[in-house]
Chain A
Amino acid sequence: MDKFIELTAIAAPLLRINIDTDAIIPSREMKRVSKQGLGDGLFAGWRYTTPGGREENSDFVLNQGPYRNAQILLSGMNFGCGSSREHAVWALHEWGIRCIIAPSFGAIFHGNCVLNGILPVALENQLVEDLARQVEAAPAENTITVNLEKCLVTGPDQSQHEFEIAPGDRKMLLEGLDGIAATMKRDDEILAFQARDRIKRPWIYL
């Protein structure tokens, strides 16, 4: 998995609340049993003019000028709510997004981000809107810096905003860990748990 340490990048404002994973990657864009080939379908319902088509909708932010190179997304509360489909995160990643700044996130989506090298940053809505206003003034120049070691977002005006992230999530992103491999090292603990549990709850062990 990619490591996330620090990123300075163009940020695209998509200030809508409750953006669901169906909007991020419509189910009809999940065409193969694969984590690849999903970037093209990212936000398909909004990005293209017709359902299932590929003609760009020029009103959509990711189709506009410098935002085509955005690596940060600014959005509203409850980003990534709805379906558990990890394809939403794979699509964002393939398109080029590495960090999402929003007031809150859907829980499953948040977990999926961390496991795929995308940093979800929770900042108050007013701060997100303020960052968006600065970015919109000059999208290519007014970049945002996100530093995960310091847990700090630096806006185009050099204002600094601390954010909180669970220490385990931070470590996972900073070091680009494979969570399964890490847990497999705890095999003894799992076996010991099962031995105890089998006595306490024998009906669980089919």
Chain B
Amino acid sequence: MAEFATVAPARPPDAAVPPPPSPSGEPLWSPRRRERLLQLGFLVPAVAYLLLFFGYPVVQNAVMGFQEYTTRTFYTGEAPWVGLDNYTAVLTSPVFDQALLNTVLFTVGSIVGQFGIGLAIAVFFQRRFPLSGLLRSLLLLPWLIPLIVSGAVWRWILDQDNGALNRFLGGLGLVGENPGWLTSTSLALIAVIAVNIWIGIPFNTTILYGGLQDIPGELYEAAALDGATGWRAFRHVTWPLLRPVVNVVLVLGVVYTIKVLDIILGLTGGGPANATQTIATQSYHLSFQEFRFGEGAALGNVLILTSLVFALLYLRANRQVSR
């Protein structure tokens, strides 16, 4: 599972456990003590890196959420403490309710779609057929295109009057009036979710395909002897053995999806009429469009806390995998 090593915070080895009270008379530089110090020394770079690049921004952001942090602050350094005012402001704003609902719908919709399609494709590619390797690598394409670029292309495809999708549907005679994929308040969120699913499929397929490769072929042979093939083989062999990987994929998927910003900004900018506004886009808007950095930070903290819950779930799932 080296795949995930980059994401999981380094698990401190035994060094973190306080040393047992040494019996009297142990010399200061005993070999044991030296080894312990050496172990700690190896930890220092990782810990320093985490504190500097993860700890500091998170703490700074948490503090900012309690301050009146504006453009002024950047020059004067003055950021008056305002207690929970920022939280009250963002949590009671009418946009918050809609943004929260949109965030939940966006996350659940994206995950269900990405995972379902990703799993289907992964299972499909388990069979060997001509060009399967090439096709599988082509699947990675959405992942390789910069999000802003794919956002722009999808905007063209989904355009109401001249978009390729509506031209196609119109040509087939499926729709009478062109649906406003990005311009109708009832369709925009669905369209944005669909695009996000397209982006997320490669990730899900790749990880799940890797998990499937780890399942020994003999198990399928044994199951086949017992009469379990097709769906039953999937249900009783594939699924239980894939479960740990599935957990990891789902938890990571949630964490990645909940904070999606660029694709929404590229497609709709949170519009029309906040129909695709999520907590992430609203937080961006407050900070960088309205310059209310304190309120933006408060909303960002809400997002971070939510992510944290899923991050803990991920750590648990990850532990199960390595067992």
User: Are A and B bound to each other?
Assistant: no
Which residue numbers of B lie inside 8 Å of A, CB to CB?
A: none
